[in-house]
């Protein structure tokens, strides 16, 4: 397929990738394009900026979670929603697995998808030295994919002189510059950037940035690079096709299991493709709010509790006792459940907030969750079941990741996690035949069989008459 595309990447975190990506997306909209966005890696927050601020479709692509064929397929599917794709890189361009490999890096994704890269250079305090820095990034890998450069935090006067040197000496296209914009910086908190809804007048800031970029960037050059992208084969992988067309999948589609999905200010870390795969397998997804609703939706077969910031809303979550009771009772009655990180914290016996105050939670799994001062078990992991006959035990190794400052007095021991390229490993996850609850975040396309097995338990649970299904009385 032909899919025009570019990646906005940088040599380090904090170079302005997210705001510049949002500004470029909005500028492309003003030019009459329909761009779609992709975020490299497992980050949840940057796609929120793309979707909520720029109002464009955004998905994650992670070359650690998925092999090259699956990665290209997922890109191909997502790219159909627009006429131009804009990738946002992650961390430093070559920074990947374990901090010692390019696997899973922005470079790895650009190489896998043959995507030309526009390198953002934070040029504050640099002039000609920036050229040496760019050359080093370009030449570190022969197939670097780098096709252009944007100088961030640079004056127009300096850019006019430096761009000529850059193109003459490095043979790379200069796309433009971004002047210092005081309101164009995003604040961070313990899990990354603050959420889009928390930034005052963010949409107005992005609109202003887009107007600046339309003046300071050469969008004709940028679009020429995007439309010169190499054609890409994006076929559906055979193992995915086998799962989607399996007898089990057909049975699930006939049953149409209903899944309640926690979604509010406290639970917002959701991979769009996770919901997509569940829908393709026949699930009906119903959002609910552990913060604002009083009980689970009626007649649901499964429960999804994704991550987010429950620690910021611990008091409110605890005060909503009706919902806590509803969730705990549903789990005690055997409802199927996948709970990750913040969702798992909510299922625990208690949770500390950011000030060390402890609040009662659902009490559906053992353990008291407490705040720590440092990242705990940060990064990619591979999960293997330590117990037989628990959900996911027959799915093989499951690639996932952890990213949290909180810990628990009982993290579970149903699975064993190993950090790739490192010697560190640990036990984790509370699991039963129909539940997985733990700190690891799951990306279902990394192991589609797990999504299939989860929905299978949902259907089986309904047939056995458990949980909160209300049986209709005959008329």
What value, to the nearest 5°, has the Cα angle with vertex 253 and ends 343 and 339?
10
Tokens, residue 334? 């055997």
The string of DSSP letters for 55-103 reads: ---EEEE-TTTS-HHHHHHHHHHHHTTSSEEEEE--SSTT--GGGT--T
Task: Give the CA distances from residue 388 to residues 35, 274, 363, 364, 415, in Å, rounded to whole numbers and listed in that order.
Answer: 46, 25, 24, 21, 10
User: 110 phi and psi, to 5 degrees?
Assistant: -60, -40
The radius of gyration of the chain's CA atoms, rounded to the nearest angstrom, is 23
User: 383 phi and psi, to 5 degrees?
Assistant: -100, 135
- Strand 258-262 with 284-288, pairing: parallel
DSSP state of 439: S
* Residues contacting residue 123 through CB under 8 Å, at least 6 positions apart: 130, 151, 152, 153, 154, 177
Q: Are 40 and 61 spatial neighbours (Cβ–Cβ below 8 Å)?
A: yes
Q: Which candidate in 341, 411, 428, 447 is catalytic?
A: 341
Question: Does the annotation mark 341 as catalytic?
Answer: yes
Question: How many residues are given for the chain?
Answer: 475
Q: Known catalytic residues? A: 341
């Amino acid at each position: 397929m032909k899919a025009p595309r570019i990646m906005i990447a940088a040599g380090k975190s904090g170079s302005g990738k997210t705001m510049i990506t949002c500004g470029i997306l909005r500028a492309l909209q003003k030019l009459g394009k329909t761009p779609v966005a992709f975020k490299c890696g497992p980050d949840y927050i940057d796609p929120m900026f793309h979707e909520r601020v720029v109002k464009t479709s955004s998905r994650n692509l992670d070359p650690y979670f998925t092999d090259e064929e699956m990665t290209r397929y997922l890109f191909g599917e997502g790219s159909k929603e627009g006429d131009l794709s804009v990738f946002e890189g992650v961390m430093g361009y070559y920074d990947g697995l374990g901090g010692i490999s390019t696997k899973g890096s922005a470079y790895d994704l650009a190489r896998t998808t043959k995507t030309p890269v526009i390198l953002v250079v934070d040029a504050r305090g640099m002039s000609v030295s920036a050229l040496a820095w760019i050359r080093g990034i370009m030449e570190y890998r022969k197939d670097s994919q780098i096709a252009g450069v944007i100088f961030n935090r640079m004056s127009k006067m300096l850019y006019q002189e430096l761009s000529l040197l850059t193109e003459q000496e490095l043979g790379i296209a200069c796309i433009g510059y971004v002047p210092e914009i005081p309101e164009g910086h995003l604040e961070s908190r313990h899990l990354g950037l603050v959420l889009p809804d928390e930034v005052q007048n963010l949409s107005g800031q992005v609109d202003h940035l887009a107007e600046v970029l339309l003046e300071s960037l050469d969008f004709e050059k940028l679009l020429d690079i995007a439309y010169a992208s190499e054609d890409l084969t994006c076929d559906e992988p055979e193992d995915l096709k086998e799962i989607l067309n399996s007898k089990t999948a057909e049975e699930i589609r006939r049953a149409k299991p209903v899944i309640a999905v926690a979604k509010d200010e406290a639970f917002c870390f959701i991979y769009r493709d996770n919901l997509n795969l569940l829908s393709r397998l026949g699930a009906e997804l119903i959002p609910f709010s552990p913060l604002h609703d009083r009980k689970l939706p009626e007649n649901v077969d499964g429960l999804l509790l994704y991550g987010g910031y429950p620690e910021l809303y611990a008091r409110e979550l605890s005060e909503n006792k009706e919902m806590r009771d509803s969730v705990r009772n549903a789990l005690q009655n055997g409802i199927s459940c996948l709970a990750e990180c913040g969702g798992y914290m909510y299922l625990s016996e208690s949770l500390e907030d950011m000030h060390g105050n402890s609040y009662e939670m659902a009490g559906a799994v053992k353990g008291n969750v407490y705040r720590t001062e440092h990242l705990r078990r940060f990064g990619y992991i591979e999960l293997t079941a330590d117990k037989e006959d628990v959900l996911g035990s027959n799915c093989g190794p499951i690639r996932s990741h952890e990213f949290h400052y909180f810990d628990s007095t009982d993290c579970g021991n149903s699975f064993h996690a190993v950090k790739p390229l490192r010697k560190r490993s640990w036990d984790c996850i509370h699991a039963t035949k129909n539940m997985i609850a733990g700190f690891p975040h799951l990306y279902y396309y990394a192991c589609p069989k797990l999504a299939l097995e989860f929905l299978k338990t949902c259907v089986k649970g309904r047939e056995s008459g458990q949980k909160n299904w209300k049986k209709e009385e005959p008329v």
